[in-house]
Amino acid sequence: MPNNREFVERIAPTWGHGHYGERWLGLNYGLCADLLAEGASQALRAPWLILEDHPDDALPLNGSESNMPRYPTETAANHRARLRTRWPTWIAAGSVQVLEAQFAAAGYPGAQVYFDFSRPGPHGEPPPYWSQFWMRFPVGTHPVTADGPSWDSFNWDDGTLWGPLGLTLEFVTTIRGIVRKWKPGHWICRGFQFEFGGAVWDGFDWDDGTVWGGWRELEF
From the number of C-beta atoms within 10 Å of its C-beta (0-12, 13-18, 19+), residue 64 rates as: exposed
Please give the pLDDT value at position 135. Answer: 95
CA distance 154 to 101: 40
CA distance 193 to 136: 5
87 shares its domain with 164: no
38 shares its domain with 62: no
Radius of gyration in angstroms for the set of CA atoms belonging to the chain, rounded to a whole number: 29
Number of domains in the chain: 3
List 215's β-bridge partners, or say none. 195
125 shares its domain with 205: yes
Please give the pLDDT value at position 47. Answer: 73
82 shares its domain with 101: no
Please give the pLDDT value at position 147. Answer: 66
132 shares its domain with 113: yes
160 shares its domain with 67: no
117 shares its domain with 220: yes
Domain that holds residue 125: 92-220
182 shares its domain with 195: yes
CA distance 212 to 199: 6
- Cα pseudo-dihedral 7, 11, 13, 16, rounded to 10: 0
Please give the pLDDT value at position 34. Answer: 65
82 shares its domain with 29: no
pLDDT tens string, the chain, 220 residues long: the values are 577 656 666 666 766 576 666 666 665 656 566 667 666 766 666 777 777 778 888 899 899 999 999 999 999 999 999 999 999 999 999 999 999 999 999 999 999 999 998 999 988 999 999 999 999 998 888 888 766 666 565 566 655 555 677 788 899 999 999 999 999 999 999 999 988 765 444 444 555 444 445 667 777 6
190 shares its domain with 142: yes
Residue 30 has a CB neighbour count (10 Å cut-off) of 19
182 shares its domain with 121: yes
